[in-house]
Protein backbone atom coordinates (compact mmCIF):
# COMPACT_ATOMS: atom_id res chain seq x y z
CA UNK A 1 0.00 0.00 0.00
CA UNK A 2 1.03 3.57 -0.40
CA UNK A 3 0.15 5.99 2.38
CA UNK A 4 -1.34 9.39 1.55
CA UNK A 5 2.18 10.87 1.62
CA UNK A 6 3.85 8.65 -1.01
CA UNK A 7 5.59 6.17 1.29
CA UNK A 8 5.31 2.45 0.54
CA UNK A 9 4.44 0.10 3.42
CA UNK A 10 4.79 -3.68 3.53
CA UNK A 11 2.97 -5.28 6.45
CA UNK A 12 3.74 -8.90 7.21
CA UNK A 13 3.25 -11.70 9.68
CA UNK A 14 6.16 -14.14 9.80
CA UNK A 15 4.63 -17.62 9.56
CA UNK A 16 7.60 -19.99 9.24
CA UNK A 17 8.46 -19.99 12.96
CA UNK A 18 5.48 -20.86 15.19
CA UNK A 19 4.91 -18.55 18.14
CA UNK A 20 6.64 -15.51 16.66
CA UNK A 21 5.26 -13.05 14.13
CA UNK A 22 8.62 -11.23 13.81
CA UNK A 23 11.24 -12.58 11.44
CA UNK A 24 14.00 -14.32 13.46
CA UNK A 25 17.16 -12.28 13.82
CA UNK A 26 15.53 -8.92 13.11
CA UNK A 27 15.40 -7.08 16.44
CA UNK A 28 14.86 -3.33 16.33
CA UNK A 29 18.37 -2.39 15.18
CA UNK A 30 17.34 0.08 12.49
CA UNK A 31 15.50 3.33 13.00
CA UNK A 32 14.12 4.60 9.70
CA UNK A 33 14.30 8.37 9.23
CA UNK A 34 11.80 10.00 6.89
CA UNK A 35 11.58 13.45 5.32
CA UNK A 36 7.94 13.48 4.22
CA UNK A 37 5.76 16.29 2.99
CA UNK A 38 3.05 16.77 5.60
CA UNK A 39 4.93 15.21 8.54
CA UNK A 40 2.16 16.24 10.96
CA UNK A 41 -0.43 14.50 8.80
CA UNK A 42 1.82 11.43 8.48
CA UNK A 43 2.06 11.22 12.27
CA UNK A 44 -1.74 11.36 12.46
CA UNK A 45 -2.00 8.59 9.82
CA UNK A 46 0.46 6.40 11.77
CA UNK A 47 -1.61 6.89 14.91
CA UNK A 48 -4.87 5.96 13.16
CA UNK A 49 -3.52 3.08 11.06
CA UNK A 50 -0.96 1.47 13.38
CA UNK A 51 -1.71 2.76 16.93
CA UNK A 52 1.51 4.78 16.81
CA UNK A 53 2.51 6.94 19.78
CA UNK A 54 4.49 10.19 19.89
CA UNK A 55 7.78 9.65 21.71
CA UNK A 56 8.99 13.17 20.98
CA UNK A 57 7.90 15.78 18.43
CA UNK A 58 9.70 19.12 18.16
CA UNK A 59 8.09 21.78 15.98
CA UNK A 60 9.22 25.10 14.55
CA UNK A 61 7.33 28.25 15.58
CA UNK A 62 5.35 27.83 12.33
CA UNK A 63 4.35 24.28 13.34
CA UNK A 64 6.63 22.31 10.96
CA UNK A 65 7.94 19.04 12.42
CA UNK A 66 11.65 19.69 13.01
CA UNK A 67 12.33 16.29 14.56
CA UNK A 68 9.92 13.58 15.58
CA UNK A 69 10.20 10.14 17.13
CA UNK A 70 7.10 8.03 16.64
CA UNK A 71 6.72 4.55 18.18
CA UNK A 72 5.02 1.93 16.00
CA UNK A 73 4.82 -1.34 17.95
CA UNK A 74 8.27 -1.86 19.46
CA UNK A 75 10.00 0.23 16.79
CA UNK A 76 10.59 3.94 16.37
CA UNK A 77 10.40 5.97 13.17
CA UNK A 78 12.13 9.33 13.22
CA UNK A 79 11.27 12.17 10.85
CA UNK A 80 11.39 15.82 10.01
CA UNK A 81 9.15 17.63 7.58
CA UNK A 82 10.52 17.84 4.05
CA UNK A 83 12.37 21.09 3.48
CA UNK A 84 15.22 22.29 1.28
CA UNK A 85 17.72 19.53 0.56
CA UNK A 86 15.91 17.24 3.02
CA UNK A 87 13.12 15.95 0.92
CA UNK A 88 10.65 14.90 0.18
CA UNK A 89 12.14 11.43 -0.09
CA UNK A 90 10.17 8.24 -0.70
CA UNK A 91 10.65 5.27 1.60
CA UNK A 92 9.69 1.62 1.88
CA UNK A 93 9.18 0.18 5.33
CA UNK A 94 8.59 -3.41 6.48
CA UNK A 95 6.38 -3.68 9.57
CA UNK A 96 5.83 -7.02 11.34
CA UNK A 97 2.45 -7.30 13.07
CA UNK A 98 0.43 -10.08 14.73
CA UNK A 99 -2.39 -9.90 12.16
CA UNK A 100 -1.23 -8.55 8.82
CA UNK A 101 -4.67 -8.91 7.21
CA UNK A 102 -6.35 -6.79 9.90
CA UNK A 103 -3.56 -4.19 9.81
CA UNK A 104 -3.71 -4.03 6.01
CA UNK A 105 -7.48 -3.44 6.16
CA UNK A 106 -7.11 -0.81 8.89
CA UNK A 107 -4.45 1.09 6.91
CA UNK A 108 -6.72 1.14 3.85
CA UNK A 109 -9.53 2.49 6.02
CA UNK A 110 -7.13 5.19 7.29
CA UNK A 111 -6.50 6.42 3.74
CA UNK A 112 -3.70 4.23 2.33
CA UNK A 113 -3.85 2.69 -1.13
CA UNK A 114 -2.86 -0.87 -1.99
CA UNK A 115 0.43 -1.66 -3.77
CA UNK A 116 -0.46 -5.37 -3.74
CA UNK A 117 -3.02 -7.46 -1.84
CA UNK A 118 -2.30 -9.77 1.08
CA UNK A 119 -0.70 -13.06 0.05
CA UNK A 120 1.30 -15.95 1.46
CA UNK A 121 4.90 -15.49 0.31
CA UNK A 122 7.19 -18.41 -0.46
CA UNK A 123 9.70 -17.14 2.14
CA UNK A 124 7.36 -17.67 5.09
CA UNK A 125 5.40 -14.47 5.46
CA UNK A 126 1.83 -13.32 4.99
CA UNK A 127 2.42 -9.97 3.30
CA UNK A 128 0.62 -7.10 1.61
CA UNK A 129 1.89 -3.77 0.32
CA UNK A 130 0.31 -0.46 1.30
pTM for this one?
0.69
pLDDT value for 29: 47
Find out whether 33 and 88 touch, Cβ atoms under 8 Å.
no
**Which pLDDT does position 44 carry in this prediction?**
95
The three-point CA angle 81-89-79 to 5° equals 35
Which of 62, 14, 68 lies closest to 44, judged by CA?
68
pLDDT digits (tens, 9 = 90+) for 8-62: 676 766 677 677 666 565 555 456 888 898 999 999 999 999 999 998 898 989 9
Distance of alpha carbon 114 from alpha carbon 124, whole angstroms = 21
Kindly report, residue by residue over 95-111, the tens digit of the pLDDT: 888 899 999 999 999 99
Query: pLDDT per residue over 56-84, tens digit each?
Result: 898 989 999 988 889 898 888 888 898 88
Amino acid sequence: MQDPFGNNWYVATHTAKPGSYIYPGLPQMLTPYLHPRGASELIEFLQKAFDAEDVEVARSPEGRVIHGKIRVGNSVIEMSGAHGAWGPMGASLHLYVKDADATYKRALEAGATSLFPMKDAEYGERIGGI
